[in-house]
């Protein structure tokens, strides 16, 4: 009945996500998103709404495809300190090497976007969920004796959320791989 679409929404979101990740929200003009997704301007607006909503879809896609598996591991019943260590080593690698020093899309977006609005709220909820995931792992670690009894697991869970932002910032700012790895190694020494 009608002309079929030239692009796949699934592939388009993935391309949009990588474009936002590499260039930032303000560094990714709509024309670039059109080119990278292979879609048409009209097609993107029709399918996803405006640029802000395209960013929201990209963030959700990022949570699912980039972080999904890693967070899943932390949700397993036995996940404790070794799993946390693995999680941070993995995101440290993603933030610098898998993404060419682009850091973490969610962290970057939170720093780039204004203080209010749906994107900011979405990210706030994401990090709150992540913190309780960390907290569960820390509690399990304490029960397993992997953590000294005196440690404040609640404070530690805040530290770990901060560590995500830290790793993202350092993945982008550190001039040398050696310096970056020294940073990550020492920052993670609390989990040893």
Partner DNA sequence: ATGTTAAAAGAACGATCATTCTGTAATTGT
Partner DNA sequence: ACAATTACAGAATGATCGTTCTTTTAACAT
Binding residues for DNA, per CB under 7 A?
1-7, 26, 28-31, 39-43, 45-46, 50-52
Name the minimum Å distance from CB 5 to DNA.
4
The residue range among 13-21, 72-80, 82-90, 102-110 that interacts with a second copy, by the rule CB under 8 A, is 102-110
Structure tokens, 149: 């009894």
Q: How far is residue 91's CA from residue 101's CA, in Å, rounded to a whole number?
A: 12
Q: How far is residue 50's CA from residue 9's CA, in Å, rounded to a whole number?
A: 15
* Block residue for tokens 């592939």: 11
**Residue 2 interface partner, choices a second copy, DNA, none, CB cut-off 5-8 Å depending on type:** DNA
Interface pick for a second copy out of 56, 74, 135, 187 (rule CB under 8 A): 187
* Block residue for tokens 């899309």: 105
Per DSSP, 40 falls in state -
Residues 51, 30 contacting (CB under 8 angstroms)? yes
Q: Which residues bind a second copy (CB under 8 A)?
A: 26, 107-108, 110-111, 124, 127-128, 152, 154-156, 158-159, 161-163, 165-166, 168-170, 172-175, 178-180, 182-183, 185-187, 189-190
């Amino acid at each position: 009945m009608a002309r079929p679409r030239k692009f796949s929404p699934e592939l388009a979101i993935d391309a949009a996500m990588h474009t936002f990740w590499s260039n930032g929200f303000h560094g990714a003009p709509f024309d670039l998103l059109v080119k990278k997704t292979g879609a048409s301007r009209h097609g993107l607006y029709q399918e996803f709404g405006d640029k802000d909503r395209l960013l929201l879809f990209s963030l959700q896609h990022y949570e699912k495809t980039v972080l999904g598996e890693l967070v899943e591991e932390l949700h397993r019943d036995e996940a404790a300190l070794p799993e946390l260590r693995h999680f941070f080593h993995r995101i440290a690698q993603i933030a610098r090497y898998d993404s060419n020093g682009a850091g973490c899309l969610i962290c970057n977006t939170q720093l780039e976007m204004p203080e209010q609005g749906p994107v900011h709220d979405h990210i706030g909820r994401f990090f709150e969920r992540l913190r309780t995931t960390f907290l569960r792992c820390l509690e399990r670690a304490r029960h397993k004796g992997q953590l000294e009894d005196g440690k404040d697991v609640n404070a530690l869970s805040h530290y770990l959320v901060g560590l995500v932002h830290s790793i993202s910032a350092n993945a982008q700012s550190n001039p040398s791989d050696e310096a970056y790895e020294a940073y990550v190694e020492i920052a993670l020494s609390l989990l040893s």
